[in-house]
Amino acid sequence: MTQIKIATWNINSVRLRIAQVIRFGAEQSPDIICLQEIKCLGEQFPYDDFRAAGYEHIEVSGQKGYHGCATVSKIPIERLPTSFCPVGEARHVSVRVVPNGSDDFELHNFYIPAGGDEANIETNPKFKHKLEFLEAMRCYFTERFKVGDSQQVLVGDFNIAPHENDVWSHKQLLKVISHTPLEVGILKDLQNAHDFIDVARALIPEDEKLFSWWSYRSRDINKSDRGRRLDHIWVSQALKTQALDGGRAALEVHRDCRFWERPSDHAPITLVLNF
């Protein structure tokens, strides 16, 4: 059996927190790390640090000061030509993972737009942009499945907490972007259209609170625990066995990283795939 451990983490500036990513890599030994909100151009990305840590295969989609995604891997990867963002922002990296001795699969690393403050597409262009990005995702995966390429892994900061227990208070956040019924419904439509598996909720009961993000305004997240599950790992049905055979222990939200010095507001999530 071959195991591949994938991590996803909105790092909120990779150059500021490169030491944390390298520490995480050393402690948790993920084979692939998908980063969002790297906040740098491609030429500014800390390639040398990652290569020294064993991540020789690197694909970056960068933007000056904002957004950006990067996928770094110990396993060979091949960049896929993809286009999701309607306004051309750096919000995704798509690759084919080419491991030795197991099947290839596609890995899509997303930083879906947050959507601003008002859940109204008429008055808030950021919210409209978010919904258009989700529609672009739906269209892309419709085409991928048409050509029969169904081994897909989707990870990243989706900026949507879909279930009642993915937020600290369902009732209080129903009108707050990231948990509005409109966003949740569109994300669910995307999931259902291709029968994607939300791995966290396939392994952890929906009546259990599960968060990956806590506001910087929360001084003690363990005391208030006002979090949201904004970060996700989905797989296609063709990878159901590989994703779920390891049971609950295969998926972990690394909440302890939120207590490191000058942390990101997101915690990394890892999943072990069994091939």
Neighbours of 223 (CB within 10 A): 8
What secondary structure, in 3-state letters, does the chain show? CCEEEEEEEECCCCCCCHHHHHHHHHHHCCCEEEEECCCCCHHHCCHHHHHHCCCCEEEEECCCCCCCEEEEECCCEEECCCCCCCCCCCCEEEEEECCCCCCCEEEEEEECCCCCCCCCCCCCHHHHHHHHHHHHHHHHHHHHHHCCCCCEEEEEECCCCCCHHHECCCCCCCCCCCCCHHHHHHHHHHHHHHCCEEHHHHHCCCCCCCCCEECCCCCCHHHHCCEECCEEEEECHHHHHHHHCCCHHHEEECHHHHHCCCCCCECCEEEEEEC
pTM over 0.75: yes
Q: Are 214 and 226 in contact (CB under 8 A)?
A: yes
pLDDT tens, 143-196? 877 766 589 999 999 999 999 999 999 999 999 999 999 999 999 999 998 999
Dump pLDDT digits (tens) for 90-106: 999 999 999 876 678 99
40-94: pLDDT as tens digits: 999 999 999 999 999 999 999 999 999 999 999 999 999 999 888 988 899 999 9
**What is the per-residue pLDDT for 221?**
83
What's the CA gap between 228 and 245, in Å, rounded?
A: 26
Residue 157 identity = D
